[in-house]
A and B are shown apart, each in its own frame.
Chain A
Amino acid sequence: MSERRPLVVILDYRMGNLRSVQKALQLVGADARIATAPEEAAGADGLVLPGVGAFGDAMANLRDLGFAAAVREAVAAGTPLLGICVGLQVLFRESDEMGQHEGLALLPGRVTRFRPPLVVPHVGWNQIHVRRQHPLVASLEGGEHAYFTHSYFAVPEDEGDIVATTDYGSHFASVVARDKVWGVQFHPEKSWRVGLRLLQDYVNWLRS
Chain B
Amino acid sequence: MPFTVYPAIDMRRGRCVRLRQGRADAETIYFERPAEVALQWQGQGAHWLHIVNLDGALDSAETWSGPNVEALRAILAAVSVPVQFGGGVRTVASVGRLLDLGVARVILGTIAVSEPEVVARALERHGPEQVMVSLDARDGLVATHGWVTSSALPTEEVGERMRALGVRYAVHTDIGRDGMLTGANVAASVALAEQTGLQVIVSGGVATLDDIAASARHAHRGLAGVIVGQALYTDAFTLSEAVQLAAATEPEHSAEGCAGSRDGEGPLE
Contacts and interface: CB of A to CB of B under 8 A. Distances in A.
Interface of A: 15-17, 19-20, 23-24, 27, 51-55, 58, 85-87, 89, 95, 97, 111, 113, 117, 119-126, 145, 147, 149-152, 187, 189-190, 192-193, 195-196
B176 interface: no
Contacts of B3: 119, 123
A125 B199 contact: yes
Given A53-B257, A125-B129, A145-B129, A24 B268 contact: yes
A54 B256 contact: yes
Interface stretch (B108-116, B153-161, B247-255): B247-255
A85 B267 contact: no
A119 B249 contact: yes
B255 A113 contact: yes
A136 B174 CA distance: 43
Given A120-B250, A196-B268, A151 B255 contact: yes
Contacts of A55: 257
A124 to B, nearest CB: 5
B258 A20 contact: no
A122 B258 CA distance: 9
B260 interface: yes
Task: Give chain A's interface secondary structure class.
Answer: mixed
A192 B257 contact: no
A85 to B, nearest CB: 4
A60 to B, nearest CB: 13
B34 interface: no
Interface of B: 1-3, 128-129, 166, 168, 197, 199, 219-220, 224, 247-251, 253, 255-269
Nearest to A196: B268
Contacts, number: 122
B199 A53 contact: no
A16 B260 CA distance: 10
Contacts of A87: 258
Contact of B267 (A52, A149, A150, A190): A190
Given A17-B264, A190-B264, A123 B220 contact: yes
13 contacts: A51-B258, A85-B258, A119-B247, A120-B259, A121-B251, A121-B253, A121-B256, A121-B259, A150-B256, A150-B257, A152-B256, A187-B266, A192-B168
Nearest to B169: A125
Contacts of B248: 117, 119
A52 B166 contact: no
A189 B261 CA distance: 13
B269 A85 contact: no
Nearest to A58: B257
Contacts of B267: 190, 192
A120 B257 CA distance: 10
Contacts of A58: 257
Residue among A85, A87, A145, A190 with most chain B CB within 10 A: A190
B2 A19 contact: no
Nearest to A15: B262
A51 to B, nearest CB: 6
B266 A189 contact: yes
A19 B265 contact: yes
A1 to B, nearest CB: 28
A20 B262 CA distance: 10
Contacts of B219: 119, 121, 123-124
A35 to B, nearest CB: 18
Given A119-B219, A120-B250, A123-B220, A53 B262 contact: yes
Given A189-B266, A190-B267, A120 B255 contact: yes
